[in-house]
Amino acid sequence: MFELSQDHEDFRAVVRDFAENEVAPNIAKWDAASYFPTDLVPKMGELGLFGLVVPEEYGGAGESGDFTSLCVAIEELGRVDQSIGITLSAGVGLGINPILTYGTEEQKQRFLPDLVAGRTLAGFGLTEPEAGSDAAASRTRAVRDGDEWVIDGAKAFITNSGTEITSVVTVTARTGTTAAGAPEISAIMVPAGTPGFIVEPAYHKLGWHVSDTHGLTFEACRVPIDNMLGEPGQGFKQFLKTLDDGRIAISALAVGCAQACLELATDYAKTRIAFGRPIGVNQGVSFQLADLAVMVEGARLLTYKAAWLKDELHAGRRSVAEVKHAASIAKLYSTEAAVSATRIATQVFGGNGFMEEYPVARFYRDAKILEIGEGTSEVQRMLIARGLGLPA
């Protein structure tokens, strides 16, 4: 029977304590001001959260860490606030992971130690204003000029891309044309502060107010040829692989959201008095909370099954196809469950649920993006159908 180890549960307690003491007392203030708490990131680094899937030589946990531990951390941070959860999820899955997986030793030594320690953050530039789920339609171009790439184009909705401690953003760009006439997509690292690398003003978002999110523009932006990540023309495949892992991490974030809603709504139903008794005695409320408990349990099991398969793949005991299929199933179910959970919790709170002083209002705003980022629900259904062997 699948279950988390005692080490995982002990780690969960450590992260929960951190979230409740370092994040919870401040999050309402940060959210209202759309403030990114830069000083929190090194504290997360000191706790080892950014290094859970990174070898010891770069400052990571090595053999004592795994992908399941990362999901535990994301869930627990997301249970208190989704913005802080996505900061970790994107920082590792979209910032660190591409460099760790495809980078040269020099690139790893240059960037990973500071990223793992939380001294810096990295971003992942795939989405464009006219190329979201159709990532292969990227219009950003990189043209070789001597020993440099000259990058022109734009990226949209990029997390951790404009903070005071952002060190690098890896972007996909067209670097040529294949023999079949298709665009050759490569991945190139662009350090923060490079001339021609323009960070646009932060988005005014529905939710995730504490998460750093910007559009990026590249105007004759020059970086060394050695800043290519991996092989030429492999950028699209690399980023698809990165998204597979990211879907499991987003599932963990969704579990945290749903768990928070279950706890908040259940506590409220026990203490809110209407017509002389707690509202939780009414089946109209209690049945909704029962349904919510089932959704949380299902989402958590699907998420940690996918995380376990990811760790088993790393050990050579599972296939890529198994992990991809499980990741899409977990992402689809968990994120849609999280959106339903926020709706149920807000309904249980009634008028108070519409007030920003209650956390359920923040979770309600934050949840919708879970069904969109890292591949929409529609994309997940397409991938699941393919995994069943149906025609593409």
Q: Let me know how many helices (H) and strands (E) the chain has, helices first.
A: 12, 10
Q: Which fold has domain 6-120?
A: Butyryl-Coa Dehydrogenase, subunit A; domain 1 (1.10.540)
The Cα 285–Cα 263 span in angstroms is 14
CA nearest to 217, candidates 279, 262, 154: 154
Chain position carrying tokens 């990532």: 135
**pTM (2 decimals)?**
0.96
Read off the tokens for 113: 């130690």
Cα-to-chain-centroid distance, residue 311: 18
- Identify which of 36, 159, 16 has the alpha carbon closest to the alpha carbon of residue 80: 16
| Burial zone of 215 (CB within 10 Å; 0-12 exposed, 13-18 middle, 19+ buried) | buried
CATH of domain 236-387: 1.20.140.10
Domain with CATH 1.10.540.10 in the chain: 6-120
HSE-up (13 A, CA, CB side) for residue 126: 22
Active site residue 374: yes
369 neighbors 208 (Cβ within 8 angstroms): yes
Which position among 128, 336, 371, 374 bears the catalytic label? 374
pLDDT tens, the chain, 392 aa long: 468 999 999 999 999 999 999 999 999 999 999 999 999 999 999 999 999 999 999 999 998 889 999 999 999 999 999 999 999 999 999 999 999 999 999 999 999 999 999 999 999 999 999 887 676 688 999 999 999 999 999 999 999 999 999 999 999 999 998 888 888 999 999 999 999 999 999 999 999 999 999 999 999 999 999 999 999 999 988 988 888 889 999 999 999 999 999 999 999 999 999 999 999 999 999 999 999 999 999 999 999 999 999 999 998 999 999 999 999 999 999 999 999 999 999 999 999 999 999 999 999 999 999 999 999 999 999 999 999 999 87
Q: Under CATH, which architecture does the 124-234 domain have?
A: Beta Barrel (2.40)
For the chain, residues classed under CATH 1.20.140.10 are: 236-387
How many other β-carbons are positioned within 10 Å of the β-carbon of residue 291? Answer: 13
Q: Could you tell me if 162 and 214 are in contact, meaning their C-beta atoms sit under 8 angstroms apart?
A: yes
Question: Which pLDDT does position 158 carry in this prediction?
Answer: 97
Which residue type occupies 305? K
